[in-house]
Structure 1
Amino acid sequence: MPKYLRFLLFSFAFVLTIFFIDSCADKKKKEDETATIYVDETVMPMMEDQLVVFHSQRPEKINLIPKTEVAILDLLKNDSTRLVVMSRTLSKGEEKRFTDKGIVPRITQIAIDGVALVANTKAKDTVIDLQDIIDFMNGKSVATIKGLVFDNANSSTIDFLSKKASVTKVDSKNIFALKTSNDVIKYIGENDGYIGVVGVNWMTQPMPDMLNSTSNVKVLAVKNVKSEPNSTEYYKPSQSNLAEGLYPLTRKIFMLNYEGSVGLGMGFATFVAGDVGQRIVLKSGLAPVRLALREVKVREDIENK
């Protein structure tokens, strides 16, 4: 074999070897790459679905840890995390510790969610006025409500409804919190006259061991206060009503990234906001930000019992 052919073959083999070594090193690096993201527990079912599909397509590892909104804010304040999923963005004051360091936040809206009001199936009414909830949170007596039950004292649902009612301190007499969304669903299923407050995701994707409890509750349609648009109709938190903003207790879900660089957190946010991730949002019963909707109602058997 001529020398120049041997030289070319040797060079080609050498290049392939280097390429193979670099590819293996890059794959190993990705496999070793991990990120921890703290998630508002009211949307944890949907985010768990995102994680399963992400891990099936990518070698990197994401750890999702459910927390209350207050706990997440504390973690951000103490610089214990820079990757979170929340139902709101940070205020300028909350964000100041990062902007002072020159960190530009990367904020990605990933879904449209809602706060669901649930009642025992024995309750006569299938609808409720938001004004009644606001009045009750302001300490007024409402004949049809014995009490409001929240998922956690530090939950985003309390913060959300408190802002709706312009309440700075919640009266604990007839308004109380349990520990989890499942606890609320179980309590409402066993106690007529109370209104449970949970993230819509826990009604569209109930845990398997909660199916018996969810069959004892129903999701109420809500009428907005008179000062707001569409205040004459009652709306359930269906995907189309969430997407169009017709449901009075609609809210947005964001991934907040304060890493200050493009890393795995941004990669996961891109995945969730992309075509596959948005289809997972759609399947979860929440409203995607960027996909055409198909109508998925909040569990028919719950609504009609």
Structure 2
Amino acid sequence: MIRNTLVSVCLLTGLLACSNEKALDNPSRGSIVVTADESLRPLVTQLTSAYSGIYPDAHFTVVFKPEQEAINQMLKDSARIVFASRPLRPNEQAVLNQKKIKGATTKIATDGVALIINRANTDSLITMSQLQGIFAGQISQWSQLKGGNQPGPITLVFDNDNSSNLDFVLTKFNVKDVKGLRIFTTRSNREVIEFVRKNPSALGFIGVNWISDGDEPLTAELSRDLRVMGVSDKPNPEKRADYYQPFQEDLGMMRYPLRRPVYVLSRETHPGLGGGLVNYVVRDAGSLIIYKLGLWPTIPYNREVNLTK
């Protein structure tokens, strides 16, 4: 009987240990690793910092990587949640399924890939058909674009070989092979900006949240000496109003052709800190931060105003 009692105590202790392991964090307390595509750095930095400001016992270790690497880190259980521009692919979801983890995918915002050029380049308008021609290898010189004043070839500049920016554009224009394209990759969106600032022949692709926060001094610094191109999905636009830039209203009204969603992908299996952050973003004041950054939140923040006589 004594032996049976000891076995029962051990089993109970083991169950409590498992329970405590799962309860190491909750929506307002604990420490988790968050990964995110580097193009979303300003957004993710402000969201996690704001949440930690509300809950001082909530700690996020945020790791910025190219999107594919960020997702892989979450699948390997080296991160709890990931901010990305796409949901999990079937083969990636299968990794969680094998571990009997359902996971969760939550759309939090509409973002855009901004096309930036050097201020010396006066050709600030481009069509989707022209971009298709560039990525098909049919257009390679600035002189082939209407209104271009730059000589020489168009250099396409991205932040990383595995970034969400590059993946999104290649998918958008159905590019299977980039060997014939003049593509240059850096190590970050900021380096793309610096490269374009120094090279008038460059066409850079960055996450719009890097240059759309009007209250952030860094935004003004990064935007200096750059132009953000207007993009039209009309093959033969007749006026300036046919072109749209990747800023808030045109993202929300679905007018900017290179818009994309922002998701939070989670492997969390209990009501934890990751879920608390996601709820803050989609149901609380986190959407105000998304507004501030010039993006379009999936669920707008509901402001209530009481008027008294």
TM-score between the two structures when normalised by the length of structure 1: 0.79
Farther-moved stretch of structure 1 (277-286 vs 42-51): 42-51
Aligned to 1:280: 289
Aligned equivalents of 1:250, 1:264: Cα separation in 2: 29
Task: Choose which of 140, 154, 162 in structure 1 pairs with 2:162.
Answer: 154
1:239 corresponds to: 248
**For 1:98, what is the secondary structure of its paired residue?**
helix
Matched, 1:71 2:39: no
User: Partner residue of 2:208?
Assistant: 200
Q: 1:135 corresponds to which residue?
A: 133
Q: CA separation in 1, counterparts of 2:268 and 2:212?
A: 32
> By how many angstroms is 1:226 displaced?
4.4
Number of residues of Structure 1 aligned to a counterpart in Structure 2: 264
- In 2: Cα distance, 1:205 partner to 1:30 partner: 28
TM-score, L = length of structure 2? 0.78
Residue 175 of structure 1 aligns with which residue? 183
Work out the CA distance in 2 between the residues paired with 1:263 and 1:55: 14
Q: 2:20 matched to which residue of 1?
A: none
Partner amino acid for 1:81?
Answer: A
CA-CA distance at 1:73 after TM superposition? 2.9
Deviations 1:105-133 (A, max 9, x none): 22211111000000111112221112222
Specify whether residues 285 and 32 from structure 1 end up closer, same or farther in structure 2 by C-alpha distance, changes over 3 A only.
Answer: closer
Larger proportion of helix: 1
Could you say which residue in structure 2 is the equivalent of 1:215? 224
For the Cα contact (< 8 Å) 2:141–2:154, is it kept in 1?
yes
Residue 141 (structure 1) shift: 2.6
The residue matched to 2:297 in structure 1 has which SS? Answer: coil
Q: Secondary structure at the match of 2:187?
A: coil
Deviation at 1:193, TM superposition (A): 2.3
Q: Is the 8 A contact 2:212 2:219 kept in 1?
A: no
Out of 65, 89, 92, the residue aligned to residue 91 of structure 1 is 89
In the alignment, the residues of structure 1 paired with residue 282 and residue 93 of structure 2 have an alpha-carbon distance, to the nearest angstrom, of 23
After TM superposition, the structure 1 = structure 2 runs for residues 186-197 of structure 1, keeping only pairs within 5 Å, are: 186-197=194-205
- Among 34, 37, 40, the alignment partner of 2:37 is 40
CA distance, structure 2, for counterparts of residue 278 and residue 213 of structure 1: 24
Question: What RMSD in Å do the two structures reach over aligned CA positions?
Answer: 2.7
How far the C-alpha of 1:77 sits from its partner, in A, is 4.2
Q: Is the 8 A contact 1:139 1:171 kept in 2?
A: no
Q: Which runs of 5+ in 1 are unaligned?
A: 1-25, 294-305
Question: Secondary structure in 2 aligned to 1:176?
Answer: strand
In 2, Cα distance between the equivalents of 1:69 and 1:147?
Answer: 23
Tell me if 1:164 matches 2:172. Answer: yes
Task: Write the distance in 1 (CA, Å) between the matches of 2:272 and 2:172.
Answer: 36
Identity of aligned residues (%): 29
- The 1-side partners of 2:285 and 2:107 are apart by 15
Shift of 1:172: 6.0
Specify whether residues 209 and 45 from structure 1 end up closer, same or farther in structure 2 by C-alpha distance, changes over 3 A only: closer
Q: Secondary structure at the match of 2:129?
A: helix
Gaps of 5+ in 2: 1-22, 143-152, 303-309
Alignment correspondent of 2:47: 50
Structure-2 separation of matches of 1:30 and 1:239: 30
CA shift, 1:225, in A, is 5.6
- Aligned counterparts, 1:105-120, within 5 A: 105-120=103-118
Q: Give the deviation of 1:103 after TM superposition.
A: 1.8
Deviations 1:71-91 (A, max 9, x none): 113323434334111011011
- Aligned partner letter, 2:76: N
The separation in 2 between residues aligned to 1:154 and 1:98, in whole angstroms, is 22
State the shift of 1:63 in Å: 1.9
One-letter identity of the residue aligned with 1:153: D
Q: Distance in 1 between matches of 2:80 and 2:273?
A: 12
